[in-house]
Amino acid sequence: MKFSIDKKDNYSIVTLEEEKLNSALAPSVKSELVTLNAEGVNNIILNLQNVKYSDSSGLSALLVGNRIYSEANGIFILCCLTEHVDKLIKISQLHNVLNILPTVEEAIDAVFMNEIEKDLGSEEEEDETES
C-alpha cells in the first residue's frame, strides 16, 4: 500500500496514494489505522484525493477507522473525496455516520474544534463534581 503520513501534535494526516480502495488494500488500511491509534494518535484525517474507486471492503476499512477513533475519544475525518467515492458513501448512507469534509484545511479545523469541545466538556464535568 502506498501512502504518506504527516504527523502533527494533535492529529495525523494519512494520504492514500492508491487509486483503488478495495479488498486488496482494505486490510492494510485497517492495520495502519490500528497501528497509529496504538501509537497514541487520537485524531486522523484520511485524505482520499487519489482514490477513484472503492468497494464494500474499502468502506468497511473506513468504518473500522471511524469506530477506533471514536472509541479513543478522538475524531476520524475523511476529506477530498472523489466523485465516485462520495457517491458510494451516500448510496450506502454512510455520510450520516462518517465525518466528511471537502478540504484538508477544514478537516484540521474540525480536529481543533473537537479538541476544544472535549476540553470544555471535561471542565463542565469538573464543575459538576465540585458542586
Task: Give pLDDT, residue 126.
Answer: 65
**Closest by alpha carbon to 50, among 84, 88, 18?**
18
- 51-102: pLDDT as tens digits: 999 999 999 999 999 999 999 999 999 999 999 999 999 999 999 999 999 9
User: pLDDT class for 131, splitting at 50, 70, 90?
Assistant: low
What domains, with CATH codes, occur in the chain? 3-130 (3.30.750.24)
Mean pLDDT, the chain, whole residue set? 93
Task: Give pLDDT, residue 130.
Answer: 64
Q: Tell me the CA distances in angstroms from 2 to 5, 21, 28, 70, 87, one per residue in order.
A: 10, 11, 10, 25, 24
pTM (predicted TM-score)? 0.91
d(CA 90, CA 65): 18
